[in-house]
Every structure is written in C-alpha cells, then in structure tokens.
Amino acid sequence: MENSVLFNIQNKYSKLSKSEKIAADYILNYKKDYENLSISKMSEKSNISQPTIIRFARALGYKGFKELKYALIQSQSANNKRQLNPMGGLQLTGNEKVEDIPAKVTVTITSLLENALKSISVTDYCKLIDILKNAKSITIFAIENSAATAIDLNVKLSYLGLNCTYNTDPYLQKVNAANLKKGDVAIGISYSGCSSITVENLKTAKKSEATTIALTNFNKSHINKYADITIYSSSAQYFYGNTIFSRTTQLAIIDMIYIGLLTSDYNKYTKKLDKNKELILNLDNNLGQQSEKM
C-alpha cells in the first residue's frame, strides 16, 4: 500500500482551496526523501506563502507543517520496509503456507472495505439514490476490468425495474452517450478514473445534458471533471494497479446502490423483484420442459 499521507491528500484534494491544492500537488509530486522537505523551499518553489502551507497541513488534520512532515517520513519509512509490496495490504514473504492464504486475503479485503466506507460521502450517496430513482433511463459506461462491475450494476438495476443499459462494445457505448438527453443518467465506472473511452463517454453524456455519475477510486482523476456526482470506492491502489482487489470495493459500491434503492421505496421495488423472479422461474420451467422433450 502506498504512503497513507498521500492517500489522505488525494481523498481531501477536491475540498482544498486553490492555493492549498498547489501545496498538495507539490507533496504529491515530491520525489525526494521527505527528510529534505522544508517549508521555506516548498514556499519558494511552489510560489505560495508559508501560512498557506500550514493551513494545508491543518486541512489534512495535522497541527502544522512539522507534524505533516513527520507523518510523511514515517509513512515513507514503513513503505521502504515493505519494499513497496505489490499486493498492497496483503503482506507476502514467500514463506506462507497455502492454507493461510484465505485468512490473509479476507483480512486484506476487510481493510479495503473499511477504507471504502471512509471514502464515501453520505450526502453524495443519498443524492445518487434519488437521481437513479427518478431517471428516465440509465446508461452505464465501462471497459476492461470495470466491465464486470458494470454488468453487475446493470443486472441489479434491471431487476429493480429501472430502464438500464450497458453495452460491452465500446463503439456502441459512444453511440449511446451521444443519444442521451436531459432526464437521462450516465454512469461511468473506472477504477483509475483515467480510462480514455469511459472518460470521453461521460464527457459526451454531459454535453448531451444527461446527469453524470462517476464511480472511481481517486479524487484527483480525469473522470471527475465530467461528473455531477462522484462516488469513491477507496483511496488505495492495489496489486499491479487494478487487477486483483480493485473490483472488491467496486462491487461493494454496487451492492450499496442496489440496497439503497430497495430501501428507498421498499414496496415498489420488492414488487418489481417478485415479478422478475416469477418471469425467470417461468423461463427456467419452459427451458426444462423443452430439454425433456429433446
């Protein structure tokens, strides 16, 4: 797992003032040992005042610059000891027994889900539920690793009776984005927030006056520019960027959306679920009867 202080900066980035964001950028792009970090050099090179840097540190929850610097040094030291373990929170030495892996993975996932909960704005989450309830149509945009999450969201919203669409074909996604209009909702799912196809589709949807939603991992990402509401799944980066654990928190967000909608109008949505369940059971029975005749 990366420097926890940097995660904190990324999470709070959107809430910082313009000058505080300059300080944040300086820290995020700082490549040297934090022992060499000084408030005077930071002030000079970033062209912001020392009081601004102190306010920035306090915005992160520290008493001042010295406490921020100490936290950066501690996190950097911990990272060096882990040698930037590519499994993130899952500590592997190569000497583990196979039978211990289920417990290790479970502990890691639990930690990631707790991190996700801290990253979610309850206000934005409630707005999202209200927007989806009143949407004329919902179109989902996602590719590659996020496609599985998009499929899961599409299935769940469809079972609730919402007018939802997801095409795996990136060309059809572009067409769908261009055809949206006011009253429609576009949801872009991208772990990194930098997937060019998904970002471009959300940008197109916004130009079409659709309400845009982004499900991503970082505050400071391209997709946020075109989102009316952003739901953050976490603040951590996992195994080789996004291949193993990223989907865990994404799917948790999908379940939160599903249960949130169900709870918001329980009678309405349970009737839809019962109706769709009956349709599926009838389909299964018909298929079973056809196979018996063959």
Strand order across the beta sheet in which 185-189 lies: 164-166, 138-141, 185-189, 211-216, 229-232
Q: H/E/C letters for each residue in the chain?
A: CCCHHHHHHHHHHHHCCHHHHHHHHHHHCCCCCHHHCCHHHHHHHHCCCHHHHHHHHHHCCCCCHHHHHHHHHHHHHHHHHHCCCCCCCCCCCCCCCHHHHHHHHHHHHHHHHHHHHHHCCHHHHHHHHHHHHCCCCEEEECCHHHHHHHHHHHHHHHHCCCCEEECCCHHHHHHHHHHCCCCCEEEEECCCCCCHHHHHHHHHHHHCCCEEEEEECCCCCHHHHHCCEEEECCCCCECCECCCCHHHHHHHHHHHHHHHHHHHCHHHHHHHHHHHHHHHHHHHHHHHHHHHHC
Name the pLDDT band for 144 (thresholds 50, 70, 90): confident
Lowest mean per-residue pLDDT among 46-55, 161-170, 215-224, 255-264: 215-224
Q: Report pLDDT for 127.
A: 94
From the number of C-beta atoms within 10 Å of its C-beta (0-12, 13-18, 19+), residue 102 rates as: exposed
Q: Report pLDDT for 85.
A: 45
Q: Answer yes or no: is pLDDT of 285 > 60.
A: no
Q: Report pLDDT for 49.
A: 95
Distance of CA 183 to the CA centre of its chain: 24
Q: What is the CA radius of gyration of the chain?
A: 23
Instruction: Compute the average pLDDT of residues 168-191.
Output: 93
Domains and CATH numbers, the chain: 1-82 (1.10.10.10), 117-277 (3.40.50.10490)
12 contacts 60 by C-beta, under 8 angstroms = yes
Q: What is the pLDDT of residues 41-87, one digit of tens each?
A: 999 999 999 999 999 999 999 999 999 999 888 877 765 554 444 44
Instruction: Compute the average pLDDT of residues 149-176.
Output: 93
Q: Answer yes or no: is pLDDT of 195 > 50.
A: yes
131-135: list long-range contacts, CB under 8 Å, 24+ apart. Answer: 131/185, 131/211, 131/213, 131/229, 132/157, 132/162, 132/185, 132/257, 132/261, 133/261, 133/264, 133/265, 135/162, 135/163, 135/183, 135/184, 135/185, 135/211
Q: Report pLDDT for 117.
A: 78
Q: Report pLDDT for 259.
A: 92
In angstroms, the CA 197 to CA 228 distance is: 18
Give the mean pLDDT of the chain: 82
Q: Answer yes or no: is pLDDT of 293 > 70.
A: no
Instruction: Compute the average pLDDT of residues 135-140.
Output: 96
Q: What is the pLDDT of residues 199-242, one digit of tens each?
A: 999 999 999 999 999 998 866 678 888 999 999 876 555 444 34
Q: Report pLDDT for 247.
A: 73
Residue type, 128: L
Phi then psi dihedrals of residue 187, to 5 deg = -115, 120
Q: Report pLDDT for 84.
A: 40
> What percent of the chain stands above pLDDT 70?
83
